[in-house]
A and B are shown apart, each in its own frame.
Chain A
């Protein structure tokens, strides 16, 4: 079992829908990153959080340390949000990044 699990693996939504991507981890962590990987392969950092909630535009990230769970929400989704979303936890025995396998999001017009 992976130490960082994401769900769903694939997600198709209609433009305008509210989207939630989940990330669960089984190790103690000091922080968690949410990343966006574009179809060409480049990765952009969206959030880094260690508690509570962060918001940037239409994106919201939350983390519950006690439940070892984080969510990424996208409000009013748009086709340009189509990408792979990756969570990465800082922790485990080595205090290094442990990556989830990603969620492939397709937003249809």
Chain B
């Protein structure tokens, strides 16, 4: 079955550590996105990529980094520079950019900084 797989589902990190969240899709989608969800707030865009080897900053990119070396994969690294990293992270994809196509989401990764 086609879909998006995020891992790990739960992750604990000590302050000062970098962590990488995995996002893999087998939908042959060009566009991929990372969102952050905090209680009481709407999803906020961290980074997005509309094509392999290219990505753009979203609204809250500081303290995060991404890569898009393969069409299927869009990993997110939460660096030690991110001041408040505890959150729920969602990866999504769509067949093309422009946000007018159907969105497919992963199950999310919950990061807790100890």
Contacts and interface: CB of A to CB of B under 8 A. Distances in A.
A43 B42 contact: no
B104 interface: yes
A96 B45 contact: yes
B100 interface: yes
Interface stretch (B16-24, B68-76, B77-85, B105-113): B105-113
A45 interface: yes
B88 interface: yes
Interface residues of chain A: helix, strand, loop or mixed (majority): strand
A50 B100 CA distance: 9
Contact of B105 (A2, A45, A90): A45
Contacts of A101: 40-42
Given A90-B99, A90-B100, A95-B99, A41 B45 contact: no
A40 B107 contact: yes
B42 A42 contact: no
Interface residues on B, range: 20 to 34
A97 interface: yes
B105 A100 contact: no
A42 B40 contact: no
Nearest to B44: A99
Contacts of A88: 42-43
Interface string B85-111: 000101010000011111111111010
A86 B42 contact: yes
A75 interface: no
- Scoring A31, A44, A99 by chain B CB atoms within 10 A of each residue's CB, the highest score goes to A99
Contacts of B88: 41
Interface of B: 40-45, 58, 88, 90, 92, 98-108, 110
23 contacts: A4-B42, A31-B99, A35-B103, A40-B107, A41-B108, A41-B110, A42-B106, A43-B90, A43-B108, A45-B103, A48-B101, A48-B102, A48-B103, A88-B42, A88-B43, A95-B99, A96-B45, A97-B43, A97-B99, A98-B42, A99-B44, A101-B41, A102-B42
